[in-house]
Amino acid sequence: MLLRTRPTDKSHSLREETLFKKANELTVLCDARVSIIMISSTRKIHEFISPSTSNEDNLWEANCREKNEEIATRGMKFLNCLTWPFGFSMLHKVSRSFAFIIQQLDIELRKAVCIFYLVLRALDTVEDDTSVATDVKVPILKDFYRHIYDRNWHFSCGTKNYKVLIDKFHHVSTAFLELKKGYQEAIEDITKRMGAEMAKFICKEVETVDDYDEYCHYVAGLVGLGLYKLFHACGTKDLAPDSLSN
């Protein structure tokens, strides 16, 4: 939250105290990461940052005056904090039941599973959009596991909330890059395998039971395997064999 105040505002101190108190309550009750920055017209800055936030995440130096360019630079860094609110908000919009289950996990695993789901949902959105030409769609599906490492990549397809997810995929990529390497590797592996198989069946009809089993394995079974990989990465499960997803 950015709040600009006037030096003559006598209620400034009271407003600051009230806002910071509410922010602290939100941090404790919802395990949320909250930052509030109050900037006066003389560029004096007052801040609140969640107690759990490390010094490396400190976006502002409190009670100082900065040049307009410095404020703009720090403001852009602050906006990166919107990444996780976007991710969890989209999770509820594109998967109501799964979103509820994810919220029961501890915070580290919750974030990893959230991004895992959003990446695969975005991949599925590309596959499902029949308005995207095959010669455009297939390369995207095959290379999607690379796009998740690119903060600037996005695409336009899908409808409603799914379109928003793809249009603003940079938020998902930014969050993905904040995850531990073990989580990243698990998500990359499943995304690569699923994208390749989706691309294969874009160009091939499902004609036999074996084709159907293969397709279901890659677009559904791999989700379960991916979840096991994420749980393994956080140290709560032994690594499951690929046969688990059959």
Q: What is the DSSP string of 118-184?
A: HHHHHHHHHHH-TTS-HHHHHHHHHHHHHHTT-TT-----SSHHHHHHHHTHHHHHHHHTTS-HHHH
pLDDT of residue 192: 97
Among 201, 128, 137, 202, which residue's Cα sits nearest to residue 158? 128
Query: What is the Cα gyration radius of the chain?
Result: 22
Query: Do the Cβ atoms of 107 and 31 come closer than 8 Å?
Result: yes
Q: What span, in angstroms and rounded, lies between the C-alpha atoms of 141 and 123?
A: 7
Per-residue pLDDT, 118: 97
Per DSSP bridges, beta strands 45-49 and 35-40 are antiparallel
pLDDT at 101: 83
Residue 54: its pLDDT value, please? 47
Residue 245 DSSP one-character state: G
Pick the CATH number of 83-245 from 1.20.1370.10, 3.40.190.80, 1.10.600.10, 3.30.465.10: 1.10.600.10
Rounded mean pLDDT for each run of 10 residues along the chain, 246 residues in total: 50 72 70 69 63 48 53 55 81 84 86 96 96 96 97 93 94 94 97 94 86 83 91 73 51
Sheet order of strands, 2-5 included: 2-5, 35-40, 45-49
Given 3.40.1810.10, 3.30.70.1350, 3.40.47.10, 3.40.228.10, which CATH number is that of 2-66?
Answer: 3.40.1810.10
Closest CA to 2 of 86, 89, 78: 78
Taking the C-alpha atoms of residue 161 and residue 125, their distance in angstroms, rounded to an integer, is 10
Domain with CATH 3.40.1810.10 in the chain: 2-66
pTM equals: 0.68
Q: Where are the alpha helices (DSSP H) in the chain?
A: 12-30, 68-79, 83-94, 96-102, 107-128, 134-147, 160-167, 169-176, 181-202, 209-216, 222-233
| pLDDT computed for residue 94 by the predictor | 93
Q: What is the pLDDT of residue 34?
A: 75
Beta bridge partners of 36: 48
Q: For position 51, what pLDDT does the model report?
A: 57
Instruction: Please tell me the predicted confidence (pLDDT) of residue 113.
Output: 95
Return the SS3 of 2.
strand
Structure confidence at residue 88 (pLDDT): 87
